[in-house]
Amino acid sequence: MFIWTLGVALAFNEMLGPDGQVRAPYAGVAKWLESVNVEQLDRRRAEAELFYRRGGITFAVYGDAQGEERIIPFDIIPRVLAGSEWKLLAKGLEQRVKTLNLYLADIYSKQESLKAGIVPEELVWQNPAFRPEMTGVTVPKDIYVHIAGVDVVRIDANDFYVLEDNARTPSGVSYMLGGREICYRLMADLYGAHKVAPIEHYPDDLIATLSSVAPQSAGESPNVVILTPGQFNSAYYEHSFLADKMGIELVEGRDLFIRDDQVYMRTTEGAKRVDVIYRRIDDDFLDPLVFRPDSMLGVPGLFNAYAKGNVALANAIGTGAADDKAIYAHMPDLVKFFLGEEPILKNVPTWCCRKADDLAYVLEHLAELVVKEVHGSGGYGMLVGPQADKAQIAKFRELLKANPANYIAQPTLSLSSCPSFVEQGVAPRHVDLRPFVLTGGNGVKIVPGGLTRVALREGSLVVNSSQGGGTKDTWVIDL
């Protein structure tokens, strides 16, 4: 049923239902849109852009020759979800992230899901994101994924599909919070007319989650820090933003050192013990003594300190073994296996090209499918069949034949659309949603909503910020 991209005209429109009537959550927005003109909208957009520029909220685009920093376009028209819609979605997210954590705890200990044949062994043993070093390491409270950014899309009034389970170092939460602040300041009329569920407490939830996994020896107020690769990282703004909001130190690898398998941070008052590290550095770079020896970003000896339970890392090392696109196909079965529940969120049908039958199908239907690298992210290295030319399709055909196990394929989904302010005025554009799911010793917390990404180019299905997408504020409202 999603074999073809339907185009924005035929996709589920979140404001106007299939009958052309305004859907209940959008009643206020629809009325407001009637009352404003393009000049007014344009002025607010300019103000929003100024807000981002002043705040220095930028990101660097990989693959851009200039490596310049850009502002992600912010679309001032909010996306609205009814409280009842959110409730179901949140339940599905909690179920999904619980499963990710149970699966990771399993593959790094008893491997029962492998023995039961739920996941083929080679997807674990030969998965580059699986870290054999983590086998037998106990992590606090068996939580591996403290912060997940699960990308979901909507197909119709009732169905949400998971696109990706981002369980490594998902970013974007600063845009979620920034978007809300803009709406609060610049859209006070519209905002005030709705009962919007708050999200501003996300940094409080995050610090509570991080503190909850501190080693017991840390005492009452554990020292939590954010470890960044540095200011040249595309998400550096977010690292410093979160450190600031949580009132904790932002550190680089060179600010930390290990003594007696304990992590310390250099301060002007001498060495201070570190209990929890919210690390925004990939596994490969964390510790040159265990992972990439040429890494200058990490902390030599950190792994041993971690393995001994003297410091907590969020997320844990090796979480990528749960979120790659080959494991994705097995997530519904894993939900049933670990929780004994039916999956609430659906999976997009996925062809795993490492299987001969699937590969044959994909090669025959390249023009209709989206092909992705198993470990790709950010919209890089993917083929959107319906929008690709012959040369691109021919190139992917060769890539697939050369290394089939590196690819999966999915039908092009007809992503739902929301009214967006674009050059032509107000028009529907495809959106997805990245809610941020926090898991700590006190359970799962999700602030209502998340980061809505919008494909501002007409007809574009790629909402990644690195590929010309924008963001919107996401409102969960009580009707």
Q: Give all strands (DSSP E) within 24-125, no chain letters.
A: 59-60, 69-70, 74-82
Give the nearer residue to other proteins in terms of CB position, either 92 or 253: 253
Binding residue (CB under 8 A) for other proteins from 41, 193, 208, 289: 289
| In the complex, minimum distance from the CB of residue 266 to other proteins, in angstroms, rounded to a whole number | 10
Q: What are phi and psi of 279, to 5 degrees?
A: -100, 130
Q: Which amino acid, residue 277?
A: I
CA distance 322 to 83: 30
Binding window for other proteins (CB under 8 A); candidates: 227-235, 284-292, 326-334, 377-385 = 284-292
Residue 112 binds other proteins (CB under 8 A): no
Binding residue (CB under 8 A) for other proteins from 47, 64, 122, 156: 122
CA distance 277 to 210: 8
Binding residue (CB under 8 A) for other proteins from 8, 134, 248, 447: 134
Residue 247 binds other proteins (CB under 8 A): no
Binding residue (CB under 8 A) for other proteins from 259, 272, 395, 401: 259
| In the complex, minimum distance from the CB of residue 121 to other proteins, in angstroms, rounded to a whole number | 6
User: What are the tokens at 149?
Assistant: 């950014």
CA distance 161 to 467: 21
Binding window for other proteins (CB under 8 A); candidates: 120-128, 138-146, 175-183, 216-224 = 120-128
Residue 133 binds other proteins (CB under 8 A): yes
Residue 109 binds other proteins (CB under 8 A): no
User: What are the tokens at 264?
Assistant: 């310390």
The Cβ-side half-sphere exposure at 98, using a 13 Å CA radius, reads 19
How many other C-beta atoms can be found within 10 angstroms of the C-beta atom of residue 38?
Answer: 11
Give the nearer residue to other proteins in terms of CB position, either 123 or 206: 123
CB within 8 A of 6, min separation 6: which ones? Answer: 414
| In the complex, minimum distance from the CB of residue 133 to other proteins, in angstroms, rounded to a whole number | 5
Give the nearer residue to other proteins in terms of CB position, either 257 or 361: 257
| In the complex, minimum distance from the CB of residue 112 to other proteins, in angstroms, rounded to a whole number | 14
Residue 290 binds other proteins (CB under 8 A): yes
Binding residues among 305-334 for other proteins as defined by CB under 8 A: 307-308
Q: Give all strands (DSSP E) within 369-406, no chain letters.
A: 369-373, 383-384
Q: How many residues does the chain have?
A: 479
CA distance 81 to 435: 13
Binding residue (CB under 8 A) for other proteins from 300, 332, 376, 468: 300
| In the complex, minimum distance from the CB of residue 132 to other proteins, in angstroms, rounded to a whole number | 5
Binding residues among 360-419 for other proteins as defined by CB under 8 A: none
Binding residue (CB under 8 A) for other proteins from 18, 132, 192, 459: 132
Q: How many residues of this chain bind other proteins (CB under 8 A)?
A: 25
Binding residue (CB under 8 A) for other proteins from 63, 136, 247, 270: 136
Give the nearer residue to other proteins in terms of CB position, either 91 or 259: 259
Residue 135 binds other proteins (CB under 8 A): yes
Give the nearer residue to other proteins in terms of CB position, either 47 or 122: 122
Binding window for other proteins (CB under 8 A); candidates: 63-71, 170-178, 217-225, 252-260 = 252-260
Residue 125 binds other proteins (CB under 8 A): yes
Contact 262, 272 (CB under 8 A): no
Residue 340 binds other proteins (CB under 8 A): no
Contact 148, 445 (CB under 8 A): no
Contact 475, 181 (CB under 8 A): no
| In the complex, minimum distance from the CB of residue 59 to other proteins, in angstroms, rounded to a whole number | 29
Give the nearer residue to other proteins in terms of CB position, either 199 or 258: 258
Binding window for other proteins (CB under 8 A); candidates: 85-93, 200-208, 214-222, 297-305 = 297-305
Residue 155 binds other proteins (CB under 8 A): no
User: What are the tokens at 378?
Assistant: 């950010």
Q: What are phi and psi of 124, to 5 degrees?
A: -100, -60
Give the nearer residue to other proteins in terms of CB position, either 261 or 458: 261
In the numeric block, the tokens 């844990």 are attached to 316
How many other C-beta atoms can be found within 10 angstroms of the C-beta atom of residue 176?
Answer: 23
Angle at 375 between CA 161 and CA 440, to 5 degrees: 65
CA distance 298 to 256: 9
CA distance 386 to 454: 19
In the numeric block, the tokens 């086998």 are attached to 135
CA distance 408 to 371: 6
Residue 249 binds other proteins (CB under 8 A): no
What angle do the packed helices 236-246 and 202-211 form, to 10 degrees?
80
Q: Give all strands (DSSP E) within 83-188, no chain letters.
A: 147-154, 160-166
| In the complex, minimum distance from the CB of residue 134 to other proteins, in angstroms, rounded to a whole number | 7
How many other C-beta atoms can be found within 10 angstroms of the C-beta atom of residue 208?
Answer: 16
Taking CB under 8 A as the rule, which mask of x and - marks residues 174-203 in contact with other proteins?
A: ------------------------------
Residue 265 binds other proteins (CB under 8 A): no
- Which chain residues interact with other proteins by CB under 8 A? 121-122, 125-126, 128, 132-137, 257-261, 288-290, 293, 300-301, 304, 307-308
